Amino acid sequence: MVAPYVEPAAAKSTSVFKEDIFKGKVLFCTGGGSGICKGMTEAIMRHGANATIVGRKLERLQETAKELAAATGQECLATQADVRQPKQLQDAVAKTIEKFGRIDFVICGAAGNFLAPISRLSENGFKTVIEIDAIGTYNTIKATLPHTRASKGSYIHVSATLHWKGTPYQVHVSAAKAAVDATSAVLAVEEGPHGVRSNVLAPGPIGGTEGMDRLSAKGPDADRYGLHYPLGRDGEVADVANAAVFLFSPAARYVSGQVFAVDGACEHVRGMQLPYPTAVLDPDAVARMIKPRL
């Protein structure tokens, strides 16, 4: 049997793009305290930008900001805000302008997710994910738009591939991310005449992230329902970060209104993470395979 190909680890963006391409630029990133958004922020900063990271947990944000500044030699401002609260986002934007004087790039990355079938998903649970992902994205756009218009800036919205097919236990995030994709397309059309670009990054299975941990099947039977990797490995945060560097770079000046999957073609061979139809006929039978929300 011929062994399948295994894609090498993600390249460092600094080995491909000039290190100073974002010199003098400023990034505003929601959800930047951890995971994929933290990785994207670090990559943008390594190319010369300063950044503001936004989230609900100030202590974690402050620790991350110090870490990012030390790693990149750039400045990173931690600002506490809940993306569901427009006034809090407006205050975070005001602090960014006070410190850095401008906003060039925006990453709308705040998100929430967990596994639950429609039959057991509460109305509040559905609403909460919609509010964080979809309405939070809209609130972030509204708060930053005057400044991205002024700088002829660019948006990246973090979505997913889950809603491209019917994915059991993911109705809340599927609805939210579909809204994010649609919002980005309208933003690209409406704000293009003002010089503003908008695109979506849709990460696939990214190893070592909280999302991967929460959404992967657990237990001794988990491997039977595992993911398939055409390129021989799961994704890395750096893979998504490299895509973000490209989309914000001058090389992508004519790229807007698009959705980019960063998943190594996994979407084309994706099966069910949980046994189907057992998972929907008898949710109790798969409860041990699902990580609790907290």
**What pLDDT tens digit does each residue of the chain (294 aa) get?**
778 888 888 888 888 889 999 999 999 999 999 999 999 999 999 999 999 999 999 999 999 999 999 999 999 999 999 999 999 999 999 999 999 999 999 999 999 999 999 999 999 999 999 999 999 999 999 999 999 999 999 999 999 999 999 999 999 999 999 999 999 999 999 999 999 999 999 999 998 766 554 555 445 554 544 567 898 888 999 999 999 999 999 999 999 999 999 999 999 988 777 888 888 898 988 888 877 654
Task: Give the pLDDT of residue 211.
Answer: 54
The terminus-to-terminus CA distance of the chain in angstroms comes to 43
Task: Give the pLDDT of residue 178.
Answer: 98
Task: Give the pLDDT of residue 292.
Answer: 65
Task: Give the pLDDT of residue 161.
Answer: 95
As annotated, the active-site residues are 159, 177
Task: Give the pLDDT of residue 215.
Answer: 54
- The answer, as to whether pTM is greater than 0.75, is yes
Task: Give the pLDDT of residue 117.
Answer: 95
